[in-house]
Amino acid sequence: MGQQSTDMAGRGNLNYPQRLHTIWQFALRVVMGAYWLYFSSQKWVDRTWVNGLLDTAARDNYIPIYRELLANIAAPNAGALSLLTAVAEAAIGTMILLGLFTRIAGAVGVVLNLNLVLTFALCSCPWAVSDFPLVFWFYFGPLLLNVQLVFDQSSMKYGMERFITTAQARSDGGSSTYGK
């Protein structure tokens, strides 16, 4: 009792469950960053395909107030909205991959994914009717993963936040406790 676990080289406490948890969060960050960058890239060259999707979703959405929002605000402004969405998705993906303000990026990702669930998964649109479980989980799964990113700790060890935290601790005259 009281004896510290060491590896073969005599280094300090290994704490394997914490390391595995951090590695899992890092892997999740890489996947979700790539997810957001991929979907952003789909809107950089041609965004006209978004018009038809929004028109259909506005007409066939199950939630009356959301249907009105889509019909009166989103569909008429589909071009500007899709450009804004592409920029937001690119910013989220980049921040998540770099480990820079990961929790904020995850929270914005939750809002965007919730919007996608409400718009495209909860409507009587042809794609949702033909294969509802696939469509629902296609949007709801990333929503859950973005919630996980709100609680991310890996960016403090494997991301830009580590450098920001270390620099801030140095300027405050203290020392960083992250990455030890």
Q: Phi, psi (5° rounding) for residue 61?
A: -70, 140
Helix, strand, coil % in the chain, rounded to nearest 5 = 70, 0, 25
| 56 within some domain | yes
Indicate the number of domains in the chain: 1
- What's residue 9's pLDDT? 46
Q: What's the mean pLDDT in 23-28?
A: 90
d(CA 3, CA 1): 5
- 26 assigned to some structural domain: no
Asked, for residue 178, whether it belongs to a domain, the answer is: no
Domain-located, residue 13: no
Q: Is residue 105 part of a domain?
A: yes
At 179, list the tokens: 């990455």
pTM for this prediction = 0.79
Tens of pLDDT, residue by residue over 151-168, are 888 888 888 888 887 777
61 has which bridge partners?
Answer: 123
58 CB contacts (<8 Å, ≥6 apart)? 67, 70, 71, 74, 75
What's the sign of the alpha-carbon dihedral 60, 63, 67, 68?
Answer: positive
Going 32 to 38 to 41 to 47, the CA torsion angle's sign is negative
pLDDT tens per residue, range 41-92: 999 988 888 888 899 999 999 999 999 999 999 999 999 999 999 999 999 9
The average pLDDT across 6-32 equals 74
Is residue 45 in a domain? yes
39 contacts: CB under 8 Å, gap ≥ 6 = 89
Return mean pLDDT, the chain: 84
State the residue range of the domain holding 106. 32-153
78-98 vs 102-116: helix axis angle to the nearest 10?
140
Instruction: State the greatest distance between any 2 C-alpha atoms of the chain, in Å, as a whole number.
Output: 68
Contact 155, 100 (CB under 8 A): yes
Share of residues in the chain with pLDDT > 90 (%)? 49
